[in-house]
Amino acid sequence: MDLPIVYHSDYVAPLPPNHRFPMAKFSRLYDTLLADSVAHPAQFHQPRRPPLDWIELVHTPEYVRDYCEGTLDSKAQRRIGLPWSPALVNRTCIAVGGTILTARLALETGLACNTAGGTHHAFPSYGSGFCIFNDLAIAARVLLTQNVVQQILIVDLDVHQGDGTAFIFQDDPRVFTFSMHCEVNFPGTKQRSDLDVPLPTGMEDEDYLQTLADYLPDLLTQVQPDLVLYDAGVDVHLGDRLGKLALSDRGLFCREMQVLTTCVQQGYPVACVIGGGYAEDLDALVYRHSLLHRAASDVYRQYA
């Protein structure tokens, strides 16, 4: 068996030239995984656009309608940071479907990866920080509502706090939110996760990996989740434009191996999304994102 990977060409939506959010990374990641023989075409699964009532398990009907119809006011649109278009609406909804599918595949096989996802700054009634709909929260709510799982652990290692996710689940004991992030980065106003671990600026590989090791094994024992949703943002990298930590490529790969091995060895299924990553060098950025899939392939072969 091979690692299940979720990808769809509609993850890519056109944006104005030189826009700071690199949409091209999604298709380039797919191409890189194939070119480097990390994956082959038969491993990829095609997500579908989910019903709007699934999205409305997290987001208000008014916000979902206004975004999908392009009638958000200019202030709300600026808060998202992405120019509206019908193509982006389609891409956004399919990306949500991709994370739901990734979660289902993880429950079937023990481990699965998305080539998108991690829009953790989206709140119920508005989007923020390049995040429109909160795919992690929607996937969790869909599985819980359908009684597929009873307990979920969200492990968010993006450099920015998963503030939208924390807010959404602040009163829901079925979802434990864990965010390990740079303490002085976006968002300026933090929400309260079930466990927040703020990190000092400039933290490097060794200290970062040790901090993660101090928390993750105990969390798994405490929460005993039916599913782990893992946001593997690479904006913790030294070369990221919007991060303030200092991990190397090697540190990123070790992080992915550490998270996945710790969970899978103990029998906890893991669904992975790529999270944030912002760099001038697109090839370097895509390689950083691919480290998740490279590590997952190694772990899947070892424990499948």
- Whether the ω angle into residue 187 lies within 30 degrees of 0, i.e. cis, is yes
Kindly list the averaged pLDDT for each block of 10 residues, start to end, along the chain of length 304: 91 67 84 97 96 98 97 94 93 97 98 97 97 98 98 98 98 98 92 97 98 98 98 96 95 98 97 94 96 98 86
Question: Do 101 and 45 meet the contact criterion of CB atoms below 8 Å apart?
Answer: yes
Q: Which residues contact 158 (CB under 8 A, 6 or more apart)?
A: 118, 120, 179, 181, 231, 232, 233, 235, 236, 275, 276
Give the domain extent around 37.
5-303
d(CA 116, CA 131): 12
Task: Supply 224's token pair.
Answer: 């005993």
CATH number of the domain where residue 274 is located: 3.40.800.20
pLDDT at 22: 64
pLDDT tens-place string over residues 191-236: 999 999 999 999 999 999 999 999 999 999 999 999 999 999 999 9
Q: Do the bridges between strand 111-114 and strand 195-199 make them parallel or antiparallel, or are there none, so unpaired?
A: unpaired
Closest CA to 265 of 299, 224, 223, 291: 299
Question: Between vectors from CA 301 to CA 213 and to CA 296, what angle results, nearest 5°?
Answer: 45
16 exposure class (CB count in 10 Å sphere: 0-12, 13-18, 19+): exposed
How many domains does the chain fold into?
Answer: 1
pLDDT at 10: 82
pLDDT at 293: 98
pLDDT at 12: 77
pLDDT tens-place string over residues 142-151: 999 999 999 9
